[in-house]
Structure 1
Amino acid sequence: MAKEKKQSNQKSIEVTLWESANKLRGSVESAEYKHVVLGLIFLKFTSDKFEEHRAKLIAEGKEKYIEMPDFYNMSNVFYLDEVSRWDYIIKNAKQNDIALKIDTALNNIEKSNKALKGALPDNYFSRLGLDTTKLASLLDTINDMDTLKDKSQDIVGRVYEYFLSKFALAEGKGKGEFYTPKSIVNLITEMIEPYKGIIYDPACGSGGMFVQSIKFIESHHGNKKEVSIYGQEYTNTTYKLAKMNLAIRGISANLGLKAADTFGDDQHKDLKADYIMANPPFNQKDWRAATELLDDPRWRGYDVPPKSNANYGWILNMVAKLSDNGVAGFILANGALSGGGEEYKIRKTLIENKLVEAILVLPQDMFYTTNISVTVWIINRNKKKHSRSIGDEQRHYRDREDEILFMDLRQIGEPFEKKFIQFSEEQIKSIGKTYHDWQQENTPYENVPEYCYSATIEDVEKNDFSLVPSKYIEFVNRDENIDFDEKMKSLQTEFVDLLQAEAKSKNELLTVFKELGFEINV
């Protein structure tokens, strides 16, 4: 009961902050406004941490060191000068120049702490012309949030995540790419289990993959100091979001020196990662010019990905960056499962090289930015590994080198925010268990109609190297085993036939009118 009450109170904090923030928004676009609100939450949290550590230094008799940044940074606390502290901001909350004071505070914090270089909102408050009275009201609401009260509940992290999801919802289709729905991130984490080593995300958005990786390590009583995090993000404002998101949780990460294009300006050229988690842009067009990147080392051993679609560029970028025992879990549009041309050749080579371990097709309406069904790919450099430790558990593996697990998750999920679908914690664990049972020795696994099937590479070859799950999974409760590619071709043919029939009828009608002596110009 106490736990339920605590969760209810936490929900109240999130909702109260959101409602207060919405009053301030006015005519400001969500894409810009989110940096204002999240910047304030960041400022409150870092200030609370600073004051807590400052009091500790005084209690330890180190009062002469309380204005020396090194005595904060060594404990992963950001140093704040006097005009950057929350109590100074609150004292001046009703002043006409409060927006300028907030911008100055954030700018000073970034200058004083190297880890925050390029991370904080840059002159947003002054530039956007925010209503001073409403801004003061939002500051008062944030002031009521005790960011340090219950570390186990991760209040600031939860509020931050809640706001990221709400902003993604508000920005809607075609935007909100900075956020991957939490249940999809949790599913990938549950499957590849990034316990220790190097974790990489080549299109890291606001850093959600990294956050859940650390949560996985903590839930299995691991040590987050045993992982190194590397990422890259193309959009500068999203790059800032990621840096703030990670800093607020005390997660150290190398996101490159700047926001940059992963293909054109790779910030981690020599990286070899143990785990890769990613949600790259779907079906990205014109990602390279016709003559660019033709000899890129990331394609070595494969055909050059087509410039018309970056899906296989992302796949080969990740394959190139995996260590000898590395595993990647990433999301792509379903079209990548069966494309022709260079995509077909690359997919065929990936399968023949025994790198594809699992393919999971997800339900529609899981993303805030698109309603299409998408796919989780698991790529494994060492499918025949012998054993591995996850926390206190020792895993022993079957030889699944010549097999691929296909899973259809389209009938799984629960309603979320009225028009969206998400996986529950229980569903994520169940899906993960199916995958790990399939991998491990001495655990029962069997193919389940309409859910999962373990196909041999020979089976896949017979299906012309298609990775569409419905070509392998048995469907017993449906009229037909729908092949979406064939269905689309069939519909296209029917449509052409209808247009031709319409044209023929039109010509016949015009002929009749002409015979009756009427001239009709069309």
Structure 2
Amino acid sequence: MNKNQLAAKIWESANKMRSNIEANEYKDYILGFIFYKYLSEKEENWLLKRDYTPEDIKEYVNEDDPETVQSAQQSLGYFIAYEHMFSTWVKSGSDFSVDNVRVALSSFSRLISPSHKRVFEGIFNTLETGLSKLGKDTKSQTKAVRDLIHLINEIPMGSRKQDYDMLGFIYEFLIEKFASNAGKKAGEFYTPHEVSLLMSEIVADHLKDRNEIKIYDPTSGSGSLLINIGASAAKYMPDANRIRYYAQELKSNTYNLTRMNLVMRGIIPDNIVTRNADTLEEDWPYFDESDPAATYEPLYVDAVVSNPPYSLQWDPKGKENDPRYARYGVAPKSKADYAFLLHELYHLKPDGIMTIVLPHGVLFRGGEEGKIRTNLIENDNIEAIIGLPANIFYGTGIPTIIMVLRQKREDNNVLIIDASKGFEKVGKSNKLRACDIRKIVDTVTHKLTIDKYSRLVSKDEIRQNDYNLNIPRYVDSSEETETWDLYASMFGGVPEYELNRLADYWKVFPSLKDALFTMNHGYGKLKVSDIKGTIFDNVDVQKFIEDYKNKFSHFDETLEHELIDQAETVSTVKEKDEISSDLLSRFEDISLIDKYKAYEAFDKGYEEISGDLEIIQSEGMDCVKAVDPNMVLKKNKEVQEGWKGHILPFDLVQNNLLKDELDTISKQEERLQEIPSEYSTLLDELSEDDKETISEALNEENDAFVFKNFKKVIKVIDDQNLKDVLKKADQFNKEEKELKSSIKKANQELHLKTRDTIMSLSNEEVKQLLFIKWIQPITNAINELPNELLKDFASQIKNLSDKYKDTYEDIDQEIKNTEKELVKMLGDLTGDEADMAGIRQLQKMLGGD
């Protein structure tokens, strides 16, 4: 089971278990237990590496052994006795009680190392106080906790890197799922992964030449923004342990999520600095609170990233002299958006970068906010503004932006991006796709101006607009209004100015316009009936397709070498970046085709590839030849139902190595599907009297045979034709039964043969099948892009031609002909005198005599 399947299974089970408990609360319990399992197994692995046997752990790992306790505290920062370990709970069976958890959590708090209190102290408070909500009494609470423990036990948390990756993935997956069910409260603890990734990639590009960095989130929520920055920045660093994480969070239960998430991602405790405090009221201290001898030292970081609560009310009294706000102004009481922004900017190093999510209103609201915005612009702090799609955050549909800011910049212009139209619809929400994220990041990092998407705006232009940064003032992303040319509407033909809207195509295909249209006094008449065929046969189009193919002629070989030949050693994260850069660079001289569509195809394919590579790198290349029991849930119990490939899907193997067997079954299935029509043909040949005669051999509706009565009916009827009909139907029925039995048997045999085939694959066959599974879907999608482009272009040409195909004169004549026809039809009607008077008046109105 890969990480996606396991995460989905755990979510489905956990969601059922929570019963009437709100998603926002239940997340704290399940995530708390996951964290406890992580800490418990981390200690077990540490003990095993110190040559403890499982028997030693059971006998000696307790509070009576102060040497083990102190050693664990020094190395791990905490100590968990054997009786309180997660694995002990799992093995306890009927002896387990919810009180075991209460005692264990209390012991954990008592045995935290003094040096690690800021990381671990109070981290299980939410779980501990919430246990009573899991049931009305000890018995029901015990059952709820036991079910949760056995569910969570399925998550691997061993010493392998892949296990930690899976743990982090599942933790993030569950947080996102709980957020989607938590309504407005979701915004308190979760920023959608795609937005988090976008902000992280922008920050990481700016920091990629540094060996040591500090990153800070003053409204940290679950900590996902910090973690994503760290992961993105680590791609460019020789040592990920040179990243220091600072987090501040107001709500204590959410603050605990931050700490859990950071610890479980393998970040060393010395690099985790967190505070449970009000960011606006209590600025980050200028000294280490845990060290009385610490010196006065302001916190300045390389990057700040945040998604603060939107338009929060706050108390600005006495803040005029606060060094965070003194240079720029104080945000109004009703909206703390700029208070958060200025707090973050204050803590940024001169060469640092920050990204912050804000409501759209900060771009144009006046009053105190207008003054702050003016000062930010005049001090050249704003580097970019990214308008996001609506309805992209859980719990709110308001329009939002990402603002990118710096303390010191050489430029004084502002890059404004309208990315509001780049998304896919997922349920009720909008979601950024991989191609949307990549396009935004490229636009920001290279300061690109793209028609109807982005523009570098000078400070002078912003001044002229009275420091209003509303995106539509600078980037017009609206669709062109449909217009109708009066002359073309009257006389036909496509106006040349409308054809010129396709100028990009005519530039790349210079001979195509004349091949499609005859131009006369500025209007074009379509001169071919087969638009698509004319386009694809055009010499310039064929050259375009050929040039495109040449650009990607060896791309599949590159993917094969990098991903299949080096499957056991390749770094999936770094390799993705390298392949992406290679892919996008191939579009350098290619016009018309959107390179980000190719990137999206690659990203979707790579998601499955990286999941498979994690398994291969954990288990070795031979795992591709492995099969697993296919477990399904029946009557709330898991049972085996056949087999499935560990890496290779059965249908993939069958379609490529067992084609003959598959074709035989397909032919039988085709014949089986034909038999119902044979029954229908026989029934259609019967008259109503015939059906009455053989009524016992038919159902009540007389539209189906009842085969069990055939022998009795055949014995009592004399009509030989009817007997022949029934005998034919009976033959078809026997054939149908034989086919069903044969197909079932053949499918069973094919299933087992597929299992055996996978287990006996040669190394060359493994490479071949991985190529088909991994590489072909990506290259096929990329190779199809020119065809998609040209089909869309053909549709545009057809729509333009059809737009002016019927002139007003044609329509007018058609109306007149219809009226004449109607007058004639009315003349054939008869009725009494009143009716006929009405008909004559209607004929007169329609132009009749």
TM-score after normalising by structure 1: 0.79
**1:146 correspondence with 2:156:** yes
**1:11 correspondence with 2:4:** yes
Q: Say if 1:329 and 1:379, in contact at 8 Å, map to a contact too.
A: yes
Tell me the alpha carbon deviations over residues 381-402 of structure 1, each in whole angstroms, 9 at most, x when there is no partner.
2222xxxxxxxxxxxxxxxx12
Tell me the alpha carbon deviations over residues 58-105 of structure 1, each in whole angstroms, 9 at most, x when there is no partner.
169x9999962454455557532223211221133534x622212322
1:341 is aligned with what amino acid?
Answer: G
Tell me the alpha carbon deviations over residues 394-440 of structure 1, each in whole angstroms, 9 at most, x when there is no partner.
xxxxxxx1211000111112233x122222333322221121112xx
2:122 is aligned with what amino acid?
Answer: G
Taking the aligned partners of 1:170 and 1:475, their CA distance within structure 2 comes to 33
**1:306 correspondence with 2:332:** yes
Equivalent position SS for 2:468: coil
Q: Say if 1:36 and 1:121, in contact at 8 Å, map to a contact too.
A: no
Q: Say if 1:42 and 1:248, in contact at 8 Å, map to a contact too.
A: yes
2:122 aligns with 118
1:180 is aligned with what amino acid?
Answer: T
Tell me the alpha carbon deviations over residues 326-371 of structure 1, each in whole angstroms, 9 at most, x when there is no partner.
2110100000011101110110011000110000000012111211
1:272 aligns with 300
1:260 aligns with 277
Q: Say if 1:35 and 1:121, in contact at 8 Å, map to a contact too.
A: no
Distance 1:415 1:72, change over 3 A: farther
Distance 1:100 1:23, change over 3 A: farther
2:843 aligns with none
**1:288 correspondence with 2:315:** yes
Taking the aligned partners of 2:470 and 2:69, their CA distance within structure 1 comes to 55
2:81 aligns with 81
**1:465 correspondence with 2:467:** yes
1:419 is aligned with what amino acid?
Answer: K
Taking the aligned partners of 1:313 and 1:212, their CA distance within structure 2 comes to 24
Distance 1:120 1:372, change over 3 A: same
Distance 1:266 1:100, change over 3 A: farther
**1:318 correspondence with 2:344:** yes
Tell me the alpha carbon deviations over residues 284-316 of structure 1, each in whole angstroms, 9 at most, x when there is no partner.
02x116x34232121122222211210111111
Shift, 1:470, TM fit: 1.3
Q: Say if 2:203 and 2:229, in contact at 8 Å, map to a contact too.
A: no
2:431 aligns with 422
Shift, 1:149, TM fit: 6.8
1:234 aligns with 250
**1:435 correspondence with 2:444:** yes
Q: Say if 1:363 and 1:411, in contact at 8 Å, map to a contact too.
A: yes
Shift, 1:183, TM fit: 0.6
Taking the aligned partners of 2:391 and 2:404, their CA distance within structure 1 comes to 21
Structure 1, gaps ≥5 residues long: 1-7, 385-400, 439-444, 481-522
Equivalent position SS for 1:68: helix
The 5 A counterparts of 1:363-512 are 363-384=389-410, 401-416=411-426, 418-438=427-447, 445=448, 447-475=449-477, 477-479=479-481
1:157 aligns with 168
Tell me the alpha carbon deviations over residues 448-489 of structure 1, each in whole angstroms, 9 at most, x when there is no partner.
222100001011111111111211114463449xxxxxxxxx
Distance 1:411 1:29, change over 3 A: same
The 5 A counterparts of 1:199-214 are 199-214=215-230
Equivalent position SS for 2:2: helix
Aligned-pair Cα RMSD in Å: 2.5
Tell me the alpha carbon deviations over residues 174-208 of structure 1, each in whole angstroms, 9 at most, x when there is no partner.
44411000110110111121554111111111111
Taking the aligned partners of 1:256 and 1:246, their CA distance within structure 2 comes to 10
Taking the aligned partners of 2:478 and 2:29, their CA distance within structure 1 comes to 52
Tell me the alpha carbon deviations over residues 463-518 of structure 1, each in whole angstroms, 9 at most, x when there is no partner.
111111211114463449xxxxxxxxxxxxxxxxxxxxxxxxxxxxxxxxxxxxxx
Equivalent position SS for 1:282: coil
Structure 2, gaps ≥5 residues long: 287-297, 483-849
2:20 is aligned with what amino acid?
Answer: S
Equivalent position SS for 2:425: strand
1:104 aligns with 103
Counterpart pick for 1:244 among 260, 270, 280: 260
2:233 aligns with 217
Taking the aligned partners of 1:242 and 1:335, their CA distance within structure 2 comes to 29
Q: How many residues align?
A: 444
TM-score after normalising by structure 2: 0.50
Percentage of matched positions with identical amino acids: 29
1:92 aligns with 92
Shift, 1:256, TM fit: 4.1
Q: Say if 2:187 and 2:393, in contact at 8 Å, map to a contact too.
A: no
2:444 is aligned with what amino acid?
Answer: Y
Taking the aligned partners of 2:151 and 2:435, their CA distance within structure 1 comes to 35
Distance 1:99 1:316, change over 3 A: same
Taking the aligned partners of 1:88 and 1:475, their CA distance within structure 2 comes to 60
Q: Say if 2:24 and 2:185, in contact at 8 Å, map to a contact too.
A: no
Taking the aligned partners of 1:304 and 1:221, their CA distance within structure 2 comes to 38
Shift, 1:244, TM fit: 0.9
Of residues 79-88 and 183-192 in structure 1, the stretch that sits farther from structure 2 once superposed is 79-88
Distance 1:343 1:93, change over 3 A: farther
Higher relative contact order (CA 8 A, sep 6+): 1
Counterpart pick for 1:34 among 11, 14, 27: 27
Taking the aligned partners of 2:154 and 2:217, their CA distance within structure 1 comes to 35
Shift, 1:125, TM fit: 5.0
